[in-house]
């Protein structure tokens, strides 16, 4: 069961790495403008927001599974 959750966490992290790649900020701004919504934040604020989510995605992807030292199982 934990193995399946681990893979789900890693898949979410990989999706976040692609979606929140900081170079994609202008692309997302254009998409929202085409949909009729303009984003109320400036470019620098969006860049740092995307950078934060990108780092979070990297942490979800690359951090190892934590095991309790009190576990007696394999």
Helix count and strand count (H, E) for the chain: 3, 0
Work out the angle at residue 23's Cα, subtended by the Cα atoms of residues 47 and 13, and round it to the nearest 5 degrees: 85
Compute how many other C-beta atoms are within 10 angstroms of the C-beta atom of residue 57.
20
What mean pLDDT value characterizes the chain?
Answer: 87
Classify residue 73: in a domain, yes or no: no
* Domain membership of residue 30 as a residue range: 2-62
Question: What's the pTM value of the predicted model, to 2 decimals?
Answer: 0.78
Classify residue 68: in a domain, yes or no: no
Burial class (CB in 10 A: 0-12, 13-18, 19+), 64: exposed
d(CA 43, CA 12): 25
Structural domains in the chain (count): 1
**pLDDT confidence tier of residue 2, bands split at 50, 70 and 90:** low
pLDDT digits 0-9 by tens, 3-52: 666 688 899 999 999 999 999 999 999 999 999 998 888 889 999 999 99
Classify residue 32: in a domain, yes or no: yes
């Amino acid at each position: 069961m934990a193995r399946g959750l681990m893979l789900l966490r890693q898949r979410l992290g990989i999706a976040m790495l692609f979606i929140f790649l900081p170079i994609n900020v202008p692309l997302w701004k254009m998409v929202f403008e085409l949909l009729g919504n303009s984003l109320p934040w400036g470019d620098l604020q969006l860049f740092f927001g995307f950078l934060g989510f990108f780092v979070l995605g990297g942490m979800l992807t690359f951090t190892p599974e934590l095991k309790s030292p009190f576990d007696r199982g394999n």
